């Protein structure tokens, strides 16, 4: 248990530092790399939570596919490589205040409600087979809906982005 | 391990994502911050799934990953379209619907 807590501390520190770096850096390619660090840290957290399939999917879909999309987006909009002078808008103090207020309220509510509740130590480990059994029996209708949603998003993206 | 350590990490990441969405001017950066918020929620779902000893948390997290992939595809297509029409993706320059 101690080893897991130490691992969590290291991973959480890296994740939060990378997230803050992502929203504060002036270089957009660095921001994308910081996002990779955040997503990798979250994948490590899923491993700590014994969610092996989610961790694998996180690496494949986010770090693999979504990040390539973002890098293509940066490339195709011809973002200047290097420091960008006005990366944050004039409203950033209001944005920081809102984020602080939201974070403060959420942290207070979580500490107040869950305090020092431990994670159930005797909970079962759900392997990939258990997840797939659940997806293809109990959640089959949402699964089909997601398939249609992905198809619609694919067609929508092609229709929006093609030149005509 | 405490349940709260994962929930608090999720809350912090969500707040950072909210700041990114509100403060950044670049459209691609706004989409990246939205991904950060969706990931923070995913962490909560998986943590609660472990806490309640159910597989549903992981299944919901999978669905959110799929929806987020669809969202980023359409979102980047919209950003590309904006860039093609206005030669800029600074979100504070788009105020056509302002009264």
Mean pLDDT across the stretch A92-110? 94
DSSP calls for A97-119: HHHHHHHHHHHHHHHHHHTTPBP
Amino acid A78: pLDDT: 76
Smallest Cα distance from A48 to chain B, Å: 10
Amino acid A121: pLDDT: 73
Closest CA to A48 of B66, B60, B9, B17: B9
The answer on pLDDT for B94 being more than 90 is: no
What is the domain partition of chain A in residue ranges?
1-85, 88-117, 126-164
Q: What's the token pair of residue B68?
A: 């987020």
Point out the residue among B28, B61, B71 whose CB comes nearest to the CB of A74.
Answer: B28
Quote the radius of gyration of chain A (alpha carbons, Å): 20
Fold of A1-85: 1.20.120
CB contact under 8 Å between A88 and B70, yes or no, is no
Specify the length of chain A in residues.
164
Contacts of A34 (CB under 8 A, 6+ apart): A18, A19, A21, A22, A25
Give percent above pLDDT 70 in chain A. 98
pLDDT tens, A123-146? 788 899 999 999 999 999 999 999
pTM score above 0.90: yes
The answer on pLDDT for A43 being more than 80 is: yes
Mean pLDDT across the stretch B83-96? 83
Contact B17, B40 (CB under 8 A): yes
* Residue B24 phi, psi (nearest 5): -75, 145
* Residue A161 phi, psi (nearest 5): -90, -15
CB contact under 8 Å between B15 and A99, yes or no, is yes
- The mean pLDDT of chain A is 90
Q: What's the token pair of residue A94?
A: 């209001």
pLDDT tens, B4-54? 999 999 999 999 999 999 998 888 999 999 999 999 999 999 999 999 989
Amino acid B3: pLDDT: 87
* A chain contacts of residue B9, beta-carbon cutoff 8 Å: 12, 15-16, 45
User: B89 falls in which pLDDT band (50, 70, 90)?
Assistant: confident
Amino acid A77: pLDDT: 84
CA dist B79 and B4 (Å) reads 37
Amino acid B73: pLDDT: 92
Smallest Cα distance from A35 to chain B, Å: 8
CA dist B40 and B52 (Å) reads 19
The answer on pLDDT for A109 being more than 90 is: yes
Amino acid A88: pLDDT: 79
Contact B13, A15 (CB under 8 A): yes
Contact A38, A22 (CB under 8 A): yes
Point out the residue among A103, A119, A138 whose CB comes nearest to the CB of B11.
Answer: A103
The answer on pLDDT for A163 being more than 90 is: no
| HEC sequence for chain B | CEHHHHHHHHHHHHHHHHHHHHHECEHHHHHHHHHHHHHHHHHHHHHHHHHCCCCHHHHHHHHHHHHHHHHHHHHHHHHHHHHHHHCCCEHHHCCCCCC
Mean pLDDT across the stretch A25-50? 93
CB contact under 8 Å between A92 and B23, yes or no, is yes
- Chain A (119-148) residues lying within 8 Å, Cβ to Cβ, of chain B: 119-120, 123-124, 126, 130-131, 134-135, 138-139, 142-143, 146
* B chain contacts of residue A5, beta-carbon cutoff 8 Å: 1, 5
Amino acid A119: pLDDT: 81
**Top-confidence residue, B72 or A87:** B72
CA dist A135 and B66 (Å) reads 13
Whether residue A44 lies within 8 A of chain B, CB to CB, comes out as no
Contact B69, B32 (CB under 8 A): no
Q: What's the token pair of residue A22?
A: 């992502």
CA dist A8 and A138 (Å) reads 32
């Amino acid at each position: 248990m101690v080893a897991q807590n130490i691992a969590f501390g290291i991973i959480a520190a890296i994740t939060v530092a990378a997230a803050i770096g992502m929203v504060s850096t002036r270089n957009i390619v660095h921001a994308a790399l910081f996002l990779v660090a955040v997503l990798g840290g979250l994948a490590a957290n899923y491993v700590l939570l014994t969610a092996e399939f989610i961790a694998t999917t996180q690496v494949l879909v986010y770090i693999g596919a979504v990040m390539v999309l973002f890098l293509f987006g940066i490339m195709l909009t011809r973002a200047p490589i290097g420091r960008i002078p006005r990366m944050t808008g004039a409203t950033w103090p209001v944005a920081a205040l809102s984020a602080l207020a939201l974070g403060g309220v959420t942290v207070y509510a979580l500490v107040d409600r869950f305090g020092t509740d431990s994670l159930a130590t005797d909970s079962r480990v759900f392997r990939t087979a258990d997840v797939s059994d659940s997806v293809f029996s109990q959640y089959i209708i949402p699964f089909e809906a997601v398939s249609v949603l992905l198809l619609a998003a694919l067609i929508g993206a092609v229709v929006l982005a093609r030149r005509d | 391990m405490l349940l709260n350590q994962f929930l608090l990490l999720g809350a912090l990441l969500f707040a950072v994502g909210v700041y990114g969405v509100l403060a950044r001017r670049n459209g691609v950066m706004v989409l990246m911050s939205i991904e950060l918020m969706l990931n923070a929620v995913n962490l909560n779902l998986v943590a609660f799934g472990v806490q309640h000893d159910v597989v549903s948390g992981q299944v919901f997290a999978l669905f959110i990953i799929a929806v987020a992939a669809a969202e980023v595809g359409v979102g980047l297509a919209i950003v590309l379209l904006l860039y093609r029409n206005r030669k800029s993706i600074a979100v504070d320059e788009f105020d056509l619907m302002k009264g």
